[in-house]
């Protein structure tokens, strides 16, 4: 069995306050020495279908975005399996483009076998270039949750061990 080809895709708009979360999480992960060099980090922004080519050959996709879930701002969210397909598109300005991207990948037979969406409940997505304090406080735990998911996919011994400081993120799946 060959090693998984893992991509982490940050979605968001750097000019829309908490909506920048996905992009800033990728920036933080890029500087983290614990991240395996084989993991592809993509600042997807609002590109949608333009990401088809960069994601070609990916077996495991982890998307990061600010997601409106009706929970307190800064709450970490985890969607996998059928829950990814059931994400209401209106929960993020980027999930429509993400749903289109995954749909196109499925049509072409190039969809990753595993897709996980990690998010944080935003406080505001109005114009602004800084995260609100509660969402900024969630950025570190979100990065730890990303590292935990990658370790799980890579089936490293660390996957069975909790990462110090990593949150216990409730998992939403419809498998």
Q: Can you tell me the distance from the alpha carbon of 46 to that of 68, in angstroms, rounded to the nearest whole number?
A: 17
| Average pLDDT estimate for 130-152 | 97
Q: Does residue 11 or residue 53 have the better pLDDT?
A: 11
Pairing verdict, β 60-66 and 76-80: unpaired
pLDDT of residue 172 exceeding 70, the answer is: no
pLDDT of residue 94 exceeding 90, the answer is: no
Q: How confident is the model at residue 88 (pLDDT cuts 50, 70, 90)?
A: low
pLDDT at 7: 96
H or E segment at 6? strand 6-11
Helices 21-30, 133-154: inter-axial angle, 10-degree rounding: 60
- Domains and their CATH numbers in the chain: 6-173 (3.40.50.1450)
Is 78 in a helix, a strand, or coil? Answer: strand
Burial (CB count within 10 angstroms: exposed 0-12, middle 13-18, buried 19+), residue 15? exposed
pTM attached to this predicted model: 0.83
């Amino acid at each position: 069995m060959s090693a998984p080809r893992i991509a982490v895709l940050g979605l968001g708009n750097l000019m829309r306050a908490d909506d920048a979360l996905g992009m800033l999480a990728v920036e933080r992960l890029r500087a983290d020495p614990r991240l395996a060099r084989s993991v592809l980090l993509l600042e997807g922004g609002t590109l949608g279908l333009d990401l088809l080519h960069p994601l070609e050959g990916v077996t495991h996709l982890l998307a990061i975005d600010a997601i409106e879930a009706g929970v307190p701002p800064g709450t970490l969210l985890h969607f996998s399996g059928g829950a990814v397909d059931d994400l209401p598109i209106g929960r993020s300005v980027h999930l429509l483009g993400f749903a289109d991207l995954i749909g196109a990948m499925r049509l072409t037979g190039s969809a990753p076998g595993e897709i996980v969406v990690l998010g944080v409940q935003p406080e505001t997505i109005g114009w602004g270039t800084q995260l609100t304090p509660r969402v900024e406080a969630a950025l570190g735990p979100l990065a730890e949750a990303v590292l935990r998911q990658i370790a799980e996919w890579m089936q490293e011994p660390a996957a069975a061990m909790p990462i110090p400081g990593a949150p216990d993120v409730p998992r939403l799946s419809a498998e």
